Amino acid sequence: LIDSMNDIRLKDNKRIFNHPILKFQRGKLINIFFEGQKLNAYEGETVAAALIANGKKCLHKSLKFSRPRGFFCSIGKCSSCLMRVNSIPNVRTCIEPVKNGMKIEMERGQKIEQLNNQENRTEKIRINTDVIVVGAGPAGLSAAITAAELNLNVLIIDENIQMGGQLIKQSHKFFGTKDTFAGTRGTEVSNLLIDQIKKNEKQINWLTNTSALGYFEGKKHTIAAIQNNQRLLNLKTEKIILATGAQEKILQFPNNDLPGVYGAGAVQTLMNVYGVKPGNDAIIIGAGNVGTIIGYQMIQAGINVRMIIDAAKNIGGYLVHASKLRRLGIPILTSYTIKRAIGNDSVESAVIVKLDKDWLPIEGTEKEVEVDLICIAIGLSPSSELAFQAGCKSSNISELGGQVALHNKDLETTREGFFVSGDVSGIEEASTAMVEGKLAASNAALQLAVSKNRAQHIKKTAFKDLQTLRQNPFSKKIVIGKSRVYDLWEKLK
């Protein structure tokens, strides 16, 4: 083990030690082994974060053409970071915590007999509760707190190694209302919600590093989940609140699989949660709120933001975020897109091209920009897989980010007692996600006829709060999308 922090600072320039806003609480310094090479890591970080901090951007090679692949989403939703960890194949290293002595290898395929010979490590556990909340982001945490306040027993599960969802990476101050923590940094909102969960520990149980894998119907709803890649959980519940959030959309362009092409959320996770620089020189694709906010956060992390480009004619995000970047001299080019990424083992540059009024590339306007990081911030789509697998009817609602489980105003899907809340019910904001969490929990209590007066009051207030939050002109399309969802629910239920 290397004991001295100074030694590490000298050897490793990818870790951030001085940040204007964030203080990184790193755990104990440990050793991991990547392809037999000894590397240092900090307890509490993920395998992928530790590898990138050590300059290992290539996490596996594609099976057919042996193309280098990095990671992309950092929330366990894509297959980019699958590796073999302590002989267990296909581990999602972006959400797998490091452990001292861990052996990490690239996947090279394995014969079926070898897989069958592996020792069976699974242990099976049954749990019974009133409400299961899947996802511990702002929607899920608020749902769990409200359900506990209404005297229901709750189990909250999340596949990340800590609770908080997207909030744990938002270092900026939020908009919204006083009740939804306007003016508070996302990271602090997450801490406030988690404190409330912990205060209710008699009624709320929580499991992190636990993925909901499947749904089974029966007298009660059953969720099959896996904890720490080892314990198989059979979770039975009266009501389900699905709060699984959203995942990054990807763009089609040659070499979009090169290490160094990362989703915006992944960039935020590396730099704001684990204090690891995802690159030195960056281009951001997408000038909406996410792209512009991340641009500023990259500068805070010491990354040189070369430019932001957007295919649309106008900047999509709030002016306040774009203005901060323009004041720092960062170009924001509209009517531009990325034509290709260039690089051998990882990104070395990006070629951008101007678009005409029909969004077609104008030949001869290509420019090559030297970057080692291409950050894709073109939007999110709801993580609805569990709802689809449960047979909830769904539809593609473009205003809400893609395919969503149809639901009514009470957030109940076409399956009775199965609710959605937050980004999984339509891409919106943390403020509305928290209110939707309360609404779903109050409806669960009403269906169970528990604490009825209080539940009615919470429900009424939540409807009012959603209306207030959605008066913002940016929410117009959400209101349209939601009313399409409610209408379809009525027709198809």
What residues make contact with ligand FAD under the rule CB under 6 A? 75, 134-140, 157-160, 165-167, 170, 172, 174-176, 211-212, 243-246, 264-265, 268, 290, 293-294, 383, 386, 422-424, 428-431, 433
Residue number, 155 or 353, with CB nearest to ligand FAD: 155
Residue number, 32 or 240, with CB nearest to ligand FAD: 240
Contact 266, 76 (CB under 8 A): no
Contact 15, 275 (CB under 8 A): yes
Q: Alpha-carbon torsion 440, 446, 447, 448, what sign?
A: positive
Residues 56, 59, 65, CA angle at the centre, nearest 5°? 125
Shortest distance, position 100 Cβ to ligand FAD, whole Å: 25
Shortest distance, position 270 Cβ to ligand FAD, whole Å: 13
Shortest distance, position 429 Cβ to ligand FAD, whole Å: 3
Shortest distance, position 156 Cβ to ligand FAD, whole Å: 9
**Residue 475 CB: number of other CB atoms within 10 A?**
17
Residue number, 224 or 450, with CB nearest to ligand FAD: 224
Q: Which helix (H) or strand (E) holds 161?
A: none
Shortest distance, position 167 Cβ to ligand FAD, whole Å: 6
Assigned token pair, 411: 């957030």
Shortest distance, position 361 Cβ to ligand FAD, whole Å: 28
Shortest distance, position 239 Cβ to ligand FAD, whole Å: 17
Residue number, 41 or 246, with CB nearest to ligand FAD: 246
Shortest distance, position 149 Cβ to ligand FAD, whole Å: 18
Beta pairing partners, 413: 407
CA separation for the pair 209, 229 (Å, rounded): 8
Residue number, 149 or 159, with CB nearest to ligand FAD: 159
Residues 164, 169, 171, CA angle at the centre, nearest 5°? 115
Residue number, 215 or 336, with CB nearest to ligand FAD: 215
Residue number, 32 or 294, with CB nearest to ligand FAD: 294
Residue number, 130 or 158, with CB nearest to ligand FAD: 158
Shortest distance, position 210 Cβ to ligand FAD, whole Å: 6
Residue number, 139 or 197, with CB nearest to ligand FAD: 139
Residue number, 285 or 353, with CB nearest to ligand FAD: 285
Shortest distance, position 94 Cβ to ligand FAD, whole Å: 10
CA separation for the pair 142, 200 (Å, rounded): 12
| φ, ψ dihedrals at 55, nearest 5° | 80, 10
Shortest distance, position 160 Cβ to ligand FAD, whole Å: 4
Q: Alpha-carbon torsion 146, 149, 150, 156, what sign?
A: positive
